[in-house]
Amino acid sequence: MSSTSSSGVRAEQIWLDGRLMKWDEGHVHLMTHALHYGLGVFEGIRAYKTHDGRLAVFRLREHVRRLLDSAHIIMLKIPYTEDELFDACVNLLRAQKDLFANGAYLRPVAFMGDGAMGLGAVNPTRTAVTAWDWGAYLGDKGIKEGIRAKVSSYTRMHVNVNMVRGKITGQYVNSILAKREAVLAGYDEAILLDISGFVAEASGENIFQVNKKGIIKTPPLSGPILDGITRDTVLHILRDSGRTVEEVTFTRDALYITNEIFLCGTAAEITPVREVDNRQVADGKPGPITRYVQDMYFRIVRGQEPRYADWLTYI
């Protein structure tokens, strides 16, 4: 059995630069360029135990494609094809299937390796996939009862400051600072506004709200938000149920007087928000649309909704 970390059980093996190796052998040099300058890309992917006892990765193909797109945006050349990266994720889990019988969190990452230093350096790209057992990112209680959020003093970076379609390692310093500020102030999560003052996203999640007229809204992709795969899943769930979702901008005070708010992301899954800036959201409990999305999401990832079967890759 592998040892455990603060995140729970970790993989006994990792995939690094084309081969499986023991976890403790996955080293990079101190002079790795990405360590100094933050030039790398990553993904977060979940595998779930399905209703029939199998293990399935959720929307693996879409995550691998976004990893490659992110790398292309920052001109980082990954020396593996989409299929090779797809197979690396599958083979890593297959090699230790018993260890992750109840599910796993996968972390593919690609970054500029060691060699030359300086901002203009171009070194070989290192590519890896790791896995561990990671529970609800914002806590099981948060999933069930909702969390407390704070609008951050940090602004989500402008589209001319960062590449918002890329899941780029160095850009997450912005989110880390916002998250730490919120947690130190006694909240669970931060909500960042864009440079114009409109709601953008949380530190690591997209955001949805349901106003008092029952209209579901989420910030548009024309703003500085990540094109979240879980966000896309939620849009499918809602629209396939006949509900209309408006992808529009809205202000922070719209959150204060709305009926429901929830965050979504691979790590956070579907997490309700019960309070923003010390203002209770409606009755302070997850609302009916949030509960519907939660229920459908977990049914889908557990293989209980045949119409979404193509989103699952069984191990």
**Closest residue by Cα to residue 187 from 200, 168, 202, 172:** 202
**Residue of 49, 77, 97, 167 marked active site:** 167
Query: Please, how many CA atoms are within 13 Å of residue 65, restricted to the half-sphere of its CB?
Result: 7
Pairing of strands 19-22, 260-265: unpaired
Do 206 and 176 meet the contact criterion of CB atoms below 8 Å apart?
no
Residues of 166-202 as b/e, b for ≥16 C-beta within 10 angstroms?
bbbbebeebbeebbebbeeeebbbbbbbbeeebbbbb
Calpha distance 202→103 (Å, rounded): 25
Amino acid (1-letter code) at residue 10: R
Question: Could you tell me if 85 and 60 are in contact, meaning their C-beta atoms sit under 8 angstroms apart?
Answer: no
- Report the sign of the C-alpha dihedral through residues 172, 177, 182, 183, in that order: positive
Provide the pairing of β-strand 13-16 with 19-22.
antiparallel
Q: What whole-number distance in Å separates Cα of residue 268 and Cα of residue 266?
A: 6
Six token digits for residue 268: 């956070």
> Considering all CA atoms of the chain, what is the largest pairwise distance in Å, rounded to the nearest integer?
58
Asked if residue 85 lies in contact with residue 67, where contact means CB atoms within 8 angstroms, the answer is yes
Joined together, the tokens standing for residue 309 give 């079967």
* 224 neighbors 279 (Cβ within 8 angstroms): no
Q: Is 141 labeled as catalytic in the residue annotation?
A: no
Q: How many CB atoms lie within 10 A of CB 152?
A: 25
- As annotated, the active-site residues are 167
